[in-house]
Structure 1
């Protein structure tokens, strides 16, 4: 999701950047979509984020940011712990991950991204997913962590296009369905686009609303490391 950070940034306030993304910042898994211009990029060319402490020293950053990267880690909970070690006392970690219901839509393995290793829920006990992680609890369990903010980003997400739980999805990557999706995403008229997407859904094809659109389906956790 190469543009998810930009889509999220458009909804963040100036105070968010001033408070949580000042000083020395590392953006893990940023690709070409840095959260702030002064952030240090850490992506595949810089090393393996599964083992970030092999490449970066602990307690060096005022802020650690990652957007749609944690779900690609082989051991997401261990990766989160390692990333947390990079944060200075008093600093922040901002973690953005897909919401398992809105993005994975009750199906595992992931329909839309075969590289996903885990799904994420937001402070709930139950999950349909066999690999679900409560990102709130996982963050709260980090040493000296204080959760400052937690937010569900579902802006422009149409819940009427959510794939029905318990229904077996058809392969949405068939040539014809991909062509229909491509046409729908190019339509500027949202009503026409929605009609086409509902047609696909009725035929049993799941819809990734976040692909090449302004819809979001994610969780954001901001944690501070107490001094």
Structure 2
């Protein structure tokens, strides 16, 4: 799936000259938590979200504890903080340098952007114009819309199950070392040593996704720890 398959097209936007109170009312009236900021030419100038409005002098949330390691830069830090909490216009409060995606961007790439940048939404542009927005909620909605596959009637042989599982594990960094996998009557037996419980759990999940697997029996042992010198 791609961004165009899940994006919200009727995007509510704001302008840099709006006041923060106007934006707050827009958020409340429309049940949204963020919006792109468009300049007079319709280009994205920034993004504004609930997070940008949390600390405001109007509601007495502008003061925050200052970490000691910031004391060196306290003057500039406090100046930026003051602008954020006291400025009346969106242009002074919004987040600039906005990353965007295109309608054809794969959802895997969109998810990586949301995760690595720790943002909740990303604008979708085409030829420089805003055409939609993809949020974390849109990705969850896409997942909820995928129909669950019925139980497969395919009956794989033990050797086919083992081959499929070994193929799935090939090249995985978490695949435990010294492993041996035995499949008997549809039951996958895991033998060998492992570096972490998570690695064994990942192998279990991989096995359970293969049609015909009845269960997974874990016979693995912890990776030996070298004695201290």
> TM-score range with shorter-chain normalisation?
under 0.3
Q: Which is helix-richer, 1 or 2? A: 2
User: Radius of gyration: which is bigger?
Assistant: 2
When normalised by structure 1's length, the TM-score is 0.19
Query: Which of structures 1 and 2 has the larger relative contact order (alpha carbons within 8 angstroms, sep 6+)?
Result: 1
